[in-house]
Amino acid sequence: KHISGAFRQPGAVSKVVFDSPAGRMLITETVISNSLPEEYIMRYEGQGYVSYSNYQLEELDGKNTKFIINQQVELKGALKLASGLLKGTMTRQLKKSAESFKRYAENQ
C-alpha cells in the first residue's frame, strides 16, 4: 500500500505485507533512487532487519538486457541469531522481490 511521496520516485514509502513460512511480515519499502533504466535503489525495513536492493539494467544488444541485482541485508536481534535457519526463506523472499521489480521494469 502506497503511503507517501510520488509513487516509485525517490522518497516514496509503501507498506508491503509478505506471507512467508515464518508468518506474515510487514515491511516498509522506501525508494532511494529511480534513474531507470540505469538504476533503481530500494530500502526495505522489517522487524529485525534492513535491506537495500540495487537493481540495474544493462542493454546488451537491441533485443536483450542484463538484469543485475546487488542486495545488502543487515539482521538484528533474534533474526541475527537465527540467520542460519532463515537463509533459505530470505533467499526466496529476495527472489520474489527481484521478480516483482523485473515485471515492473519490463512494463515501463
CA angle 97, 16, 42 (to 5 degrees): 50
Check: CB of residue 29 under 8 Å from CB of residue 46.
no
Query: How many Å apart are CA 99 and CA 70, to the nearest integer?
Result: 14
Kindly list the structural domains of the chain, giving each domain's residue range(s) and its CATH number in brackets, ordered by start: 2-102 (3.30.530.20)
CA 58 to chain CA centroid, Å, is 19
pLDDT in tens, the chain (108 residues): 999 999 989 999 999 887 776 678 888 999 999 998 789 999 999 888 888 999 888 888 888 888 888 888 887 776 666 666 666 676 777 777 778 777 777 776
Nearest CA among 103, 97, 57, 56 for reference residue 73: 97
Whole-model pTM? 0.68
**Which of these, 71, 18, 15, 26, lies nearest to 48 by C-alpha position?**
26
